[in-house]
């Protein structure tokens, strides 16, 4: 079966045509990866880290080319695309060094002449299932630690970002033994046999909650290690006393940047009653100031949605949800691509689907709360728990928020979007399953410990 990826700014531009790997392609890739693993795992950490450093240098040399491909294939505004490539380079350099850190611990043994050692070892073949919206950073924040710690990787990218995945694959392959890193293109017909393959030791997935739960069940059901990073319905709270101008600007970007297509985007703005109108006015003008245009333009902030279906489903949720549209709500005039004006909707209460479900579009719900306490209650009243932000000038309220909010990432006076690669990343509730990603959490996921007693 073949499929295409198209430029969401100009759907007549076909970026690539690909053959889905399917069950046979997966089987071939996994058995080759197993072969590669038996050799790669024996390489010293300096060699594995050296390979990552080489990949980083190579990617740095191709920054502009990869950036352009990201813009063209997934419609990411060029300044964000460039920043993402640069983040990918940093991730590679970070793990190039991290693999040289301690790989175990020693403990006192029952007999004093014995050594009791806990050492880390790679797992085997790791399957990485990645989304289209961060087509460089997410594959690399999974693949760099997987490879660095001695595993082999089979990457199944989202179909819409296959060309970027193949470009990355080409760069990685130059620095690694044959088949240690492979890309299998396709959708569920390829993803499912990969997740279920008995020779895949670990599965790392980023994508929707719906698919994530299936992946987790299938992988865990056959005893594989699994982690899933899924959706969000991320709140930004604005409390009385906050710097409203700064809050409005930061939230507008967190909500609408890259057309809201980040699992870390702000989907709900929950405002304390006494500053509600003041914040609403500022937010409407900040949202109206966001630059919607061709993502290749250096001033673009919003860009198109990934496909027409994504826009249609956002428009559907808007139509059925009710609420009062304060700005946006329609596609801009004269664009061929899958654009939607940044949309802010005042909703009556937390049951509006815009305040409950992940919309993955430049659409944000605005809610009023009676008090700071009610704002936190509303914020927690969803299935998700990825990121939450609070804007306040009250340190006590900020600290209470960090304690009471149900989220894996907490931001005080900062945007919900944006991620640091050297600290654990991931959510709680339906946003995350299994251990977190990035930083030291990645070492824990991509290795397992062996407890070794050495008696002379
Ligand atoms: C970011 O906000 O910079 O798929 C990264 C996503 C997240 C990554 C967000 N896993 O949107």
Mutate to test the pocket of ligand 1, among 81, 419, 438 (most ligand atoms within 8 A of CB): 419
Ligand 1 geometric centre to CA of 264 (Å)? 5
Predicted local confidence at residue 384, as pLDDT: 98
Q: For residue 175, give the nearest of 92, 261, 91 by alpha carbon.
A: 92
Ligand 1 geometric centre to CA of 42 (Å)? 33
- Average pLDDT estimate for 403-407: 98
- 334 pLDDT band, cuts 50/70/90, is confident
pLDDT tens by residue, 370-389: 999 999 999 999 999 999 99
Ligand 1 pocket, residues with Cβ under 6 angstroms: 131, 133-134, 138, 206, 229, 262-264, 417-419
Instruction: Give Cβ neighbours of residue 82 (< 8 Å, ≥ 6 apart).
Output: 63, 67
Give the nearest ligand 1 atom to 263 CA. 11
The upper half-sphere exposure of residue 372, i.e. CA atoms within 13 Å in the direction of its Cβ, equals 19
Predicted local confidence at residue 192, as pLDDT: 98
> What are 129's strand-pairing partners?
156, 205
Ligand 1 geometric centre to CA of 29 (Å)? 28
CA atoms of 433 and 340, how far apart (whole Å): 32
Asked if residue 400 has pLDDT above 90, the reply is yes
- 122 pLDDT band, cuts 50/70/90, is very high
CA atoms of 392 and 373, how far apart (whole Å): 13
Report residue 394 as tokens.
């009250």
Q: Report the catalytic residues.
A: 229, 263
CA atoms of 421 and 436, how far apart (whole Å): 12
CA atoms of 84 and 135, how far apart (whole Å): 9
Residues 300 and 291: beta-carbon distance below 8 Å:
yes
Ligand 1 geometric centre to CA of 398 (Å)? 23
CA triple 190-194-195, angle to 5 deg: 120
Q: Give the whole-number percent of the chain exceeding pLDDT 70.
A: 100
* Residue-averaged pLDDT of the chain: 97
Asked if residue 48 has pLDDT above 90, the reply is yes
pLDDT tens by residue, 256-286: 999 999 999 999 999 999 999 999 999 999 9
Q: For residue 157, give the nearest of 179, 120, 182 by alpha carbon.
A: 182
Give the nearest ligand 1 atom to 417 CA. 2
The β-bridge relationship of strands 225-229 and 200-206 is parallel
Asked if residue 199 has pLDDT above 90, the reply is yes
Ligand 1 geometric centre to CA of 202 (Å)? 21
Predicted local confidence at residue 322, as pLDDT: 87
Q: Take atom 6 of ligand 1 and give the residue whose Cα is closest.
A: 263
Mutate to test the pocket of ligand 1, among 263, 387, 407 (most ligand atoms within 8 A of CB): 263
Q: Take atom 7 of ligand 1 and give the residue whose Cα is closest.
A: 263
- Average pLDDT estimate for 141-149: 98
Neighbours of 275 (CB within 10 A): 18
Give the nearest ligand 1 atom to 134 CA. 4
CA atoms of 425 and 436, how far apart (whole Å): 6
Q: Answer yes or no: pTM beyond 0.85.
A: yes
Neighbours of 320 (CB within 10 A): 10
pLDDT tens by residue, 50-99: 999 999 999 999 999 999 999 999 999 999 999 999 999 999 999 999 99
């Amino acid at each position: 079966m073949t499929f295409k990826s198209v430029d969401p700014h100009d759907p007549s531009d076909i970026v690539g045509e690909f053959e889905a790997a399917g069950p046979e392609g997966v089987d071939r890739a996994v058995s080759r990866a197993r072969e590669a693993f038996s050799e790669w795992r024996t390489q010293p950490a300096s060699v594995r880290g050296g390979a990552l450093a080489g990949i980083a240098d190579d990617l740095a040399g191709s920054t502009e080319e990869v950036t352009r491909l990201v813009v063209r294939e997934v419609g990411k505004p060029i300044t964000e695309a460039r920043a993402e490539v640069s983040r990918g380079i940093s991730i590679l350099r970070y793990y190039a060094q991290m693999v040289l850190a301690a790989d175990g611990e020693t403990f006192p043994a029952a007999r004093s002449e014995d050594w009791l050692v806990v050492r880390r070892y790679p797992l085997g073949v790791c399957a990485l299932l990645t989304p289209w919206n961060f087509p460089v950073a997410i594959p690399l924040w999974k693949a760099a630690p997987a490879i660095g710690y001695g595993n082999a990787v089979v990457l199944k990218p989202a179909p819409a970002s296959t060309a970027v995945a193949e470009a990355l694959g080409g760069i990685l392959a130059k620095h690694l033994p044959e088949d240690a890193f492979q890309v299998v293109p396709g959708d569920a017909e390829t993803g499912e046999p990969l997740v279920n393959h008995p020779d895949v030791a670990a599965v790392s997935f980023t994508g929707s909650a719906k698919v994530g739960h299936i992946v987790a069940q299938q992988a865990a059901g056959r005893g594989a290690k699994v982690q899933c990073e899924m959706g969000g319905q991320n709140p930004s709270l604005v409390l009385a006393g906050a710097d409203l101008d700064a809050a409005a600007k930061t939230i507008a970007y967190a909500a609408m940047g890259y057309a809201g297509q980040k699992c870390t985007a702000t989907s709900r703005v929950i405002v304390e009653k006494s500053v509600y109108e003041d914040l609403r006015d500022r937010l409407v003008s900040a949202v109206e100031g966001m630059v919607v245009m061709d993502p290749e333009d250096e001033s673009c902030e919003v860009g198109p949605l990934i496909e027409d279906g994504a826009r249609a489903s956002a428009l559907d949720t808007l139509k059925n949800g009710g609420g009062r549209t304060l700005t946006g709500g329609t596609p801009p005039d004269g664009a061929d691509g899958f654009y939607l004006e940044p949309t802010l909707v005042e909703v009556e209460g937390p049951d509006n689907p815009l305040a409950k479900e992940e919309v993955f579009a430049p659409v944000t719900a605005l809610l009023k709360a009676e008090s700071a306490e009610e704002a936190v209650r509303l914020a927690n009243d969803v299935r998700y728990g990825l990121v939450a932000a609070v804007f306040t000038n009250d340190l006590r309220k900020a600290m209470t928020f960090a304690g009471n909010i149900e989220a894996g990432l907490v931001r005080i006076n900062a945007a919900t979007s944006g991620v640091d690669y050297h600290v654990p990343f991931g959510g709680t509730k339906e946003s995350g399953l299994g251990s977190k990603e990035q930083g030291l959490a990645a070492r824990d996921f991509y290795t397992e410990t062996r407890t070794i007693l050495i008696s002379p």
